[in-house]
Chains A and B, each alone.
Chain A
Amino acid sequence: MTAPRTLYDKIWDDHVVHQAEDGTCLLYIDRHLVHEVTSPQAFEGLRMTGRTVRAPEKTIAVPDHNVPTTLDRVSGVIANEESRIQVEALDKNAKDFGVNYYPVSDVRQGIVHIVGPEQGWTLPGMTVVCGDSHTATHGAFGALAHGIGTSEVEHVLATQTLIQKKSKNMKVEITGSLRPGVTAKDITLSVIGETGTAGGTGYVIEYCGQAIRELSMEGRMTVCNMAIEGGARAGLIAPDEKTFAYCMGRPHAPKGAAWEAAVAYWKTLFTDEGAHFDKVITIKGEDIAPVVTWGTSPEDVLPITGTVPSPSDFTGGKVEAAQRALDYMGLTPGMKLTDIKIDTVFIGSCTNGRIEDLRAAAAILKGKKIKDGMRAMVVPGSGLVRAQAEEEGLAQIFIDAGFEWRLAGCSMCLAMNPDQLSPGERCAATSNRNFEGRQGRGGRTHLLSPAMAAAAAITGHLTDVREMMAETV
């Protein structure tokens, strides 16, 4: 009998093509997602060496980082020349190398990590890579998914494999249930607050426990999406009936007998009783509050009821980093988080740009207006999410409240397109990184959940969404 294995061990074992004596493995890649920013040099590398894409049928490309999200994009070319060249390069590369492609004009276009699951490319037990750190998102399906650099993109294009050494196993268990007003975003930020941004370095995290099981697939994607912010190579959640229900009937999911065979295999994808984890973190679901970040690292997390910390609350290199963060963010220690005024609200990104996220924000916004002078935008994660939100009446709620209703893309999460913050502009964002300059040079980012972002849009300052929920009951 074989030793008990973790979910990660099982997926890994099923993808090893070759193992060298020193433990270096060649790992087979089932799905390779590609976007316009990290792929041009890789395709160029193939051309220069006369190589081809080994498995174009397993390669899926979509432009997302650079694309404008304003409504006029349907009519014209991309105004920024460099962005236009990058998107055109992807159009050409996708055509020349024959990979699956969703161009800007396709209703299925969107953020690569939203499109992959939506189209059924991402399935349990697969290995999924992309030249993008938030590839961790796909771990929600029990797929081993992680970001790679452009050299590795070229390697996967040419060989459909990746040279890897196995990571260690880490278990993050969220016990019990979440309290009202607390979401998947609060789970994932709270875990990073606990472990730090390097706490997961060298590990693949498996998220488990009742609170994780109770999440929808959308919520699970939010949790796994930010595994990278905790430093982990990947985040994983064992597939279950919810996973199968989400996958069933998607365009690229198996059908008929193949579906039955796939589900039978997927049901073996769980961590065996007694399997070894190198590190275990347990958090009580009931203890998690709605959280926000105050600083310039995703680990700078506090419950919304807290106050801005002082550098003296920290030790080591974090003292200097905290002082730098406070200066950059323009905050004073001791200030209540709910007193922080907000200029802009951004709802979207691969972390929180799915239909459930838009529903959560719309539930808070229904019948309300955003604060005078507030700039607020919703950028759906894909054209299909956008269409569904329109059908459900959510779009109208956002528009009536004063939000801009945009087309799909990465948008202000990383501000490669024209959606950017100005110096000193303070943004409540449902995205994943609050780094210096991330949303625009000098821009100040507070990360939070879609419901919390909606609450801040109404009041004009960071707000405990639970108070607003009490009002609406």
Chain B
Amino acid sequence: MDKFTKLTGIAAPMPLVNIDTDMIIPKQFLKTIQRSGLGKNLFDEMRYTQDGAEIPDFVLNQPAYRKAEIIVAGDNFGCGSSREHAPWALLDFGIRCVISTSFADIFFNNCFKNGILPIVMPAEVVAVLMDDAKKGENARITVDLEAQTITTSDGQSFPFEVDSHRKHCLLNGLDDIGLTLEKAAAIDAFEAKNKTLHPWA
């Protein structure tokens, strides 16, 4: 997993509420057995017509946002299916950070496993960031994970919260499995105890 430290980039505004993972990556692209290559199908049915032509109005098709690295989104981003193909598609497109008032639980978890930082902010701050994002490619938002701040293009800065374990993993690009395997003795002990207490489990 790539580290996430500090990012200054173009932010795409997506104010629609309840953007679900079926919208982020429709089911026909879940048939892959790879993690890579999904970026071209990110938001596929919002982004392309049935014939595969780009829909010019869609934010990521607009010249200003084709290289966006941040999405500022409406409430409850990433709801629905648990498909990790959603963060894989975002990452493959180049998105490293999503900011919203709320995220669906599984999507939120999945982001951290892929070097994407999801940030929950109050509605009034998301509104400021949304307005800033609407300014286009000259307006760049800075996200500093170490300092836990988001800074708008005109210098307004907002602190954000992040779980300390997840922050540590993102800053260092750490693999969870490796960390957990260090606790193998504790897992062994749990299993041994459980064999007596709940032998059917």
Measured CB to CB, the residues of A under 8 A from B are 14, 17-18, 20, 22, 24, 26, 28, 30, 37-38, 40-41, 44, 49, 51, 54, 65-66, 80, 82-83, 85-86, 89, 123, 125-126, 131-133, 146-152, 154-155, 158-161, 163, 165, 197-198, 201-202, 228, 231-233, 253-254, 258-259, 261-262, 265, 297, 299, 316-318, 320-321, 324, 414-416, 423, 433, 435-438, 441-442
Instruction: Name the CB-closest residue of A to B200.
Output: A254
The CA of A85 and the CA of B32, in the complex, are separated in Å by 9
Q: Are A152 and B18 in contact (CB under 8 A)?
A: no
Q: Are A441 and B187 in contact (CB under 8 A)?
A: no
Instruction: Name the CB-closest residue of A to B184.
Output: A159
Residues 9-37 of B, flagged 1 when their CB comes within 8 A of A and 0 if not, give 00000011110101100111011111100
In the assembled complex, how far is the CB of residue A37 from the closest CB belonging to chain B, in whole angstroms?
Answer: 5
Also in contact, A22 and B163, with CB within 8 A (given A28-B187, A148-B82, A320-B16): yes
Q: Are A18 and B177 in contact (CB under 8 A)?
A: no
Contacts of A49 in B (CB 8 A): 177
The CA of A265 and the CA of B199, in the complex, are separated in Å by 11
Q: Which of B17, B102, B109, B201 contacts A152 (CB 8 A)?
A: B109
Q: Are B33 and A89 in contact (CB under 8 A)?
A: yes
Contacts of B87 in A (CB 8 A): 149
Residue B157 at the A interface, CB < 8 A?
A: no
Contacts of B79 in A (CB 8 A): 197-198, 231
Instruction: Name the CB-closest residue of B to A164.
Output: B109
Residue B186 at the A interface, CB < 8 A?
A: yes
The CA of A161 and the CA of B176, in the complex, are separated in Å by 11
- Nearest first, the 3 closest Cβ-Cβ pairs linking A and B are A151-B113, A82-B31, A254-B200
Also in contact, A152 and B105, with CB within 8 A (given A38-B82, A320-B16, A423-B50): no
Contacts of B191 in A (CB 8 A): 28, 160
Residue B136 at the A interface, CB < 8 A?
A: no
Residue B81 at the A interface, CB < 8 A?
A: yes
Q: Are A17 and B186 in contact (CB under 8 A)?
A: yes
Q: Are B22 and A149 in contact (CB under 8 A)?
A: no
Q: Are B17 and A133 in contact (CB under 8 A)?
A: no
Q: Which of B76, B164, B180, B201 contacts A161 (CB 8 A)?
A: B180
Provide the main secondary structure of the chain A interface: loop
Q: Can you spell out 16 A-B residue pairs with CB atoms less than 8 angstroms apart?
A: A17-B186, A18-B183, A41-B34, A49-B177, A83-B31, A146-B106, A151-B84, A151-B176, A155-B176, A163-B180, A197-B18, A201-B105, A299-B18, A414-B22, A416-B27, A416-B28
Also in contact, A24 and B165, with CB within 8 A (given A148-B106, A151-B113, A416-B31): yes
Measured CB to CB, the residues of B under 8 A from A are 15-18, 20, 22-23, 26-28, 30-35, 45, 50, 74-76, 79-84, 87, 102-106, 109-110, 113-114, 163-165, 176-177, 180-181, 183-184, 186-187, 190-191, 194, 198-201
Q: Are A38 and B163 in contact (CB under 8 A)?
A: no
In the assembled complex, how far is the CB of residue B172 from the closest CB belonging to chain A, in whole angstroms?
Answer: 15
In the assembled complex, how far is the CB of residue B163 from the closest CB belonging to chain A, in whole angstroms?
Answer: 7
Contacts of B50 in A (CB 8 A): 423, 441-442
Contacts of A316 in B (CB 8 A): 17, 75
Contacts of B103 in A (CB 8 A): 201
Contacts of A201 in B (CB 8 A): 76, 102-105
Provide the main secondary structure of the chain B interface: loop
Q: Which of A51, A414, A416 contacts B177 (CB 8 A)?
A: A51
Q: Are B80 and A433 in contact (CB under 8 A)?
A: yes
Contacts of B104 in A (CB 8 A): 198, 201, 231
Q: Are B16 and A151 in contact (CB under 8 A)?
A: no
Instruction: Name the CB-closest residue of B to A160.
Output: B187
Besides A66-B31, A149-B84, A154-B177, 18 new A-B residue pairs in contact (Cβ under 8 A), listed by A number: A26-B187, A28-B191, A83-B31, A123-B201, A132-B81, A133-B106, A148-B82, A149-B82, A149-B110, A152-B113, A158-B180, A160-B187, A198-B79, A253-B200, A265-B198, A297-B18, A416-B28, A435-B20
Q: Are A26 and B199 in contact (CB under 8 A)?
A: no
Q: Are B84 and A202 in contact (CB under 8 A)?
A: no
Q: Are B200 and A324 in contact (CB under 8 A)?
A: no
Contacts of B113 in A (CB 8 A): 149, 151-152
Q: Are A149 and B23 in contact (CB under 8 A)?
A: no
Contacts of A438 in B (CB 8 A): 22, 27
The CA of A262 and the CA of B17, in the complex, are separated in Å by 45
Q: Are B163 and A198 in contact (CB under 8 A)?
A: no
Q: Are A318 and B82 in contact (CB under 8 A)?
A: no
Q: Are B30 and A158 in contact (CB under 8 A)?
A: no
Contacts of A151 in B (CB 8 A): 84, 110, 113-114, 176
Instruction: Name the CB-closest residue of B to A230.
Output: B79
Also in contact, A163 and B33, with CB within 8 A (given A18-B186, A147-B106, A155-B177): no
Contacts of B45 in A (CB 8 A): 436-437, 441
Also in contact, A149 and B26, with CB within 8 A (given A41-B34, A231-B79): no
Contacts of B106 in A (CB 8 A): 133, 146-149, 228
Q: Are A321 and B84 in contact (CB under 8 A)?
A: no
Also in contact, A131 and B27, with CB within 8 A (given A151-B110, A201-B76, A201-B104): no
The CA of A37 and the CA of B198, in the complex, are separated in Å by 32
Q: Which of B33, B76, B83 contacts A197 (CB 8 A)?
A: B76
Q: Which of A253, A320, A423 has the most CB of B within 10 A?
A: A320
Contacts of A22 in B (CB 8 A): 163-165
Instruction: Name the CB-closest residue of B to A159.
Output: B180
The CA of A244 and the CA of B104, in the complex, are separated in Å by 33
The CA of A262 and the CA of B199, in the complex, are separated in Å by 8
The CA of A151 and the CA of B82, in the complex, are separated in Å by 11
Also in contact, A149 and B109, with CB within 8 A (given A22-B165, A201-B104, A317-B15): yes
In the assembled complex, how far is the CB of residue B92 from the closest CB belonging to chain A, in whole angstroms?
Answer: 13
The CA of A228 and the CA of B107, in the complex, are separated in Å by 12
In the assembled complex, how far is the CB of residue A443 from the closest CB belonging to chain B, in whole angstroms?
Answer: 11
Q: Are B183 and A17 in contact (CB under 8 A)?
A: yes
